[in-house]
Amino acid sequence: MRQSLVQAHLEVRAVAQSSSLVRWRCLAACVALAAVSVVQPGRIAAQEATAATGRVTGRVIDARSGVGLTDVALRVVGSNLGTMSGVDGRFTLASIPAGVVSIEARRLGYTAKTVTNINLTAGTAVEQHIALTSATVQLEAVSVTAALERGSVNEALDRQRAATGIVNAVTSEQIARSPDADAAQAVQRVSGVTVQDGRYVFVRGLGERYTTTSLNGARLPSPEPERKVVPLDLFPSGLLQTVTATKTFTPDLPGDFSGAQVDITTREFPATRQLSVSSTFGYNARAFGSLPLAAGVGGEQFAFAASSRGLPAVVRNAGDLTGTSQATKNEIIRSFRDVWQPSKGGGRPNGSLSASVGGNDALFGQRIGYLLSGTYSYAQEVRAGQVRSLARVGGAGDSEVEYNRFDGLTSRASALEGGLLNLSTMLGTATRLTFNNTYNRTSDNDARTEQGTYEDLSIPVNIQRLDYVERSIWSSQLASEHELGANHLDLAITASGVTRDQPDRSEFVQEIVRGASGATDRALWLNSTSEGAVRTFAALDEHSVEGRANYTRRFGSPAHALQLKFGGLARSTSRDADTRSYGISARALSEQQRAMTPDQLFDGALTAGDADILSVRSLAQGGSYSASDRLAAGYAMTELPIGSRLSLITGARVEKSDVEVDATNTLGEPSVAKRSFSDVLPAATLNIKASERMNVRLSASRTLARPEYRELAAIRTRDVIGGVDVRGNPDLIRTRIDNLDLRWEFYPDAGEIFSVGVFAKKFHDPIERVFRASNTNSLVTFVNADGASNVGVELELRKGLGFLSPSLAPLAVFSNVTAMRSSIQIAARDASTTRAERAMVGQAPYVVNAGLTYSRPGSEGSATLLFNRVGSRITEAGELPLPDVVEVARDVLDFSVRLPVSGRTSIRFDARNLFDAPYRLEQGSVVREAYRAGRVFQTGVVWRP
């Protein structure tokens, strides 16, 4: 029996090698022909399409581990057509006569399998994955239908079950059944994941510094000037294949995460040529009536307006305005765009449009997989009933009292557009090349009006703010995978970059003078302070280049191979951030002049020539810094099978980081911080396969978290009107974290899971944002606390309801619940005015995700109900004796329906934020911030020709 298998293996390999030789000869002939004539790019593909043949493509995987299997002999039953699976188990069987066919897969050490009833139409391709089971006692072949084999694999759970560590994923299929518009909304469906401000990811309740983000395996730079976190709302959901959260560390992963590494994988090309177009139309229930609207220069609705709103040259050349003449000051004031107030009008409807084309076609005899996709969306958000205030000590028993309270309304017009071009090809069966390119842009155009009492001056005021933020992110990655016999090598180089522009932000403050009985109140410009009319310009540009290499060497049988893996990574990152803020004031103005509208005050009449009426100066909330970050890492790890049920993954990673931050405040005072860290990060994971459906995982590791760039910059910045001063600390050191995880997983059936996990983390020298006493504004800085701890439990359930009744078979419930507890100890030497012991900032005590979905096999129709609740958590440590600032728990309910209306067209209906629960920040009895965002409804259509 074994000799016959070897003979069949060699015969199919010979067929594959012969086919490969013919293919390369055809490629050479095509190149020669191109030298004397023009080759129509689609001719070969068109010839294939007209022939009465088709293709079958897919992957062969190990049913136990999910790893792709190379050198599997695949043969079309009843013919001499065959091939060998190549890198990552991928294969293509070409020129198969159309009809119902069967494919046989054989490999030494595995039970042979025949997949039957594959319906192949002429000129098309069918994607068929095959899972092989290791042969332990006998080598009896098995036979399954194509439908059964295809239905036995659920991508998200397959990743989770086959992973080395503890992972959770959400796939394109799940995203398509939800109303999620971007990666931030999609990832919050993952167990233990929460999203703050609609874009920043927290995992297991830890702050964003403990979560890293990568795109197709490569680290992404951040477009945020104050942090290194990547806002995930930059990535449209239509471009996503999977969003995976890896929660345990193994040496082949970057060491600077403790909560999780979130990896965004862009869509792969389909097996056959596909074109799809989709569009949605909707509205926000609060975007009606008279709203404040921000005036633009053109291009804001496409996130291309920053260059037209940038810092005027005369302002840039003037520096910090020290010694500037009055004539130059007047010229600077005139150079600002004369728009300070929002207009009034109704909100626009929400909408989106996306299109993609992909396939796997022959070009000059070489098959190229490709996917070209683009998407655009526009959304109107309204924050109604908006409140912001501060708290101070006062009243009986030193309880907190509210001051500087402002009530208002914000409207936001957001644009999001993105595109990707992914290419892939196989060179023979042992090498796969991929070239992935992604580019995304987003803009938020805000208009805010608010009224309240500015108690520092004991006057009622009206504040009008206009704020436009534009961000972009791009990434290009060239990667290759090579099968070298039983060994595997993958290489990748990635270049990426981000920009963030906040040009021409304006604040205009008016004092409200109450009229006598029956008289109209008057709004007069607050001209006596430089914070009565402010213009701010901020820009950030960051670039990163990363190269990595991983080599895996296998020993023994494929089903129970000893694996040695080692590799390295090098990354170079540079960032430039610049914020400049200018305040306009006047020494003396008449009441009539103060009553002028801002477009009259600053239209040039009061700044002609060297008129000494208005003045402008640089404000303290400005400053700039540049950062360079060099990282080198190497690792070695082994996966050691212990019998047929246990495997031990252990090893260590060495990382060396060199960071330099050069900062300058608005007064020209420099600050330089240089930090160098070298760390050895060990890890060990024991995976126990208790049964074919049950896994137990135990993991212990050490990871780290490094200071963020802005935290090292010892410059002082401050927000306008009632803000707090923020100062960095160049003496910060990195945080080291000891991690322990235990998880039990049970997979009752395809697409089902029940798991229970516990985790514990011990933080050494955690970095914490603290308050310190100040004679003026509150001062926020950053210190290394003595220590912190975090413990929790996670439960996950995904189960079909068919076991209750056959009529309930299309229904499935899913839920993940995480309960956590943390504490942090601030050292007395740091003179913090916050509590010495409390929960970590950002730590939620629990996270609940739950849902109910309806879908039938073979149908594109589905309905999904999604629920999310995050427990109250500290967002800002309070200055003693004030309590901490807490984000109050809120319930979120979303609903989504997909209905096919024809073979080519389907429609969708989405409803988001159905409860419209208020967002609230509370500091004791004081509401620090609150608003309602409104319910969002949309409908759409998807067309596939």
Residue 436 confidence (pLDDT) above 50: yes
Q: How confident is the model at residue 354 (pLDDT cuts 50, 70, 90)?
A: confident
The rounded distance, in Å, linking the Cα atoms of 457 and 463 is 14
- When mean pLDDT is compared across 238-252, 567-581, 673-687, the lowest value belongs to 238-252
**Quick one: pLDDT at residue 658?**
95
3-class secondary-structure state, position 331? helix
788 and 766 Cβ atoms separated by less than 8 Å: yes
476 and 494 Cβ atoms separated by less than 8 Å: yes
Instruction: Kindly report, residue by residue over 260-301, the tens digit of the pLDDT.
Output: 788 878 777 676 777 888 898 999 988 888 889 998 898 898
The rounded distance, in Å, linking the Cα atoms of 134 and 107 is 9
**C-alpha of 534 from chain center:** 33
CA torsion angle 90 634 437 233 (round to 10): 110
**Quick one: pLDDT at residue 69?**
83
- Per-residue DSSP letters for 249-267? --TTS-SS-SSEEEEEEEP
Instruction: Kindly report, residue by residue over 302-340, the tens digit of the pLDDT.
Output: 999 988 899 999 998 888 888 889 999 999 999 999 999
Query: How far from 544 is each of 477, 494, 513, 547, 674, CA to CA, in Å?
Result: 12, 8, 53, 10, 19
Residue 18 confidence (pLDDT) above 60: no
Neighbours of 29 (CB within 10 A): 12
**Amino acid sitting at position 126:** V
Q: How confident is the model at residue 153 (pLDDT cuts 50, 70, 90)?
A: very low
Residue 133 confidence (pLDDT) above 70: yes
Q: b or e along 650-684 (b: 16 or more beta carbons within 10 Å of the residue's beta carbon)?
A: bbbbbbebebbbbbbbbeeeebebebebebebebb
The rounded distance, in Å, linking the Cα atoms of 257 and 235 is 21
| Segment of 201-205, 323-327, 829-833 carrying the highest mean pLDDT | 323-327
Burial of 592 from C-beta contacts in 10 A (0-12 / 13-18 / 19+):
exposed
Collect all residues with Cβ–Cβ distance below 8 Å to 247 and sequence separation of at least 6.
Answer: 165, 166, 167, 168, 192, 203, 204, 259, 260, 741, 759
The rounded distance, in Å, linking the Cα atoms of 142 and 148 is 13
Residue 468 confidence (pLDDT) above 50: yes
Higher pLDDT, residue 557 or 158? 557
**Quick one: pLDDT at residue 38?**
31
827 and 838 Cβ atoms separated by less than 8 Å: no
Q: How confident is the model at residue 235 (pLDDT cuts 50, 70, 90)?
A: low
Question: What average pLDDT does range 862-874 have in this prediction?
Answer: 88
**C-alpha of 935 from chain center:** 24
Instruction: Kindly report, residue by residue over 591-617, the tens digit of the pLDDT.
Output: 899 999 999 999 999 999 888 999 999
Instruction: Kindly report, residue by residue over 305-314, the tens digit of the pLDDT.
Output: 988 899 999 9
**Quick one: pLDDT at residue 27?**
34
The rounded distance, in Å, linking the Cα atoms of 126 and 884 is 58
**C-alpha of 11 from chain center:** 47
Residue 498 confidence (pLDDT) above 80: yes
Question: What average pLDDT does range 725-749 have in this prediction?
Answer: 89
Burial of 860 from C-beta contacts in 10 A (0-12 / 13-18 / 19+):
middle
Instruction: Kindly report, residue by residue over 31-69, the tens digit of the pLDDT.
Output: 333 333 333 333 334 444 445 888 888 888 877 666 778
3-class secondary-structure state, position 7? helix
Burial of 453 from C-beta contacts in 10 A (0-12 / 13-18 / 19+):
middle
**Quick one: pLDDT at residue 132?**
86
The rounded distance, in Å, linking the Cα atoms of 222 and 240 is 19
Query: How far from 530 is each of 459, 583, 603, 779, 934, CA to CA, in Å?
Result: 16, 5, 18, 20, 36
Instruction: Kindly report, residue by residue over 754-801, the tens digit of the pLDDT.
Output: 999 999 999 999 888 776 655 556 677 888 888 899 999 999 898 889
- pTM > 0.75: yes or no: yes
785 and 733 Cβ atoms separated by less than 8 Å: no
- Can you say whether residue 175 is alpha, beta or left, with left for phi > 0 and alpha for psi between -120 and 50 degrees? alpha
Q: Report which DSSP code applies to 143.
A: E
Please give the share of the chain, as a percent, with pLDDT higher than 90.
33
**Quick one: pLDDT at residue 35?**
33
Neighbours of 98 (CB within 10 A): 15
Neighbours of 136 (CB within 10 A): 11
The rounded distance, in Å, linking the Cα atoms of 258 and 790 is 11
- When mean pLDDT is compared across 60-69, 670-679, 903-912, the lowest value belongs to 60-69
238 and 358 Cβ atoms separated by less than 8 Å: no
294 and 277 Cβ atoms separated by less than 8 Å: no
224, two tokens = 């945020």
204 and 168 Cβ atoms separated by less than 8 Å: no
Residue 720 confidence (pLDDT) above 50: no
710 and 378 Cβ atoms separated by less than 8 Å: no
**H or E element at residue 690:** strand 670-691
85, two tokens = 């699976």
Q: How confident is the model at residue 685 (pLDDT cuts 50, 70, 90)?
A: very high
**Quick one: pLDDT at residue 735?**
92
Measuring CA to CA, which residue among 502, 505, 572, 573 is closest to residue 540? Answer: 502
Q: How confident is the model at residue 565 (pLDDT cuts 50, 70, 90)?
A: very high
- When mean pLDDT is compared across 13-17, 518-522, 679-683, 690-694, the lowest value belongs to 13-17
**Quick one: pLDDT at residue 289?**
81
What is the average pLDDT value for the chain, to the nearest integer?
82
Range list of H helices, 631-769: 709-712
- Per-residue DSSP letters for 206-264? --GGGEEEEETTEEPP---TT--PPPGGGSBGGGEEEEEEE-S--TTS-SS-SSEEEEE
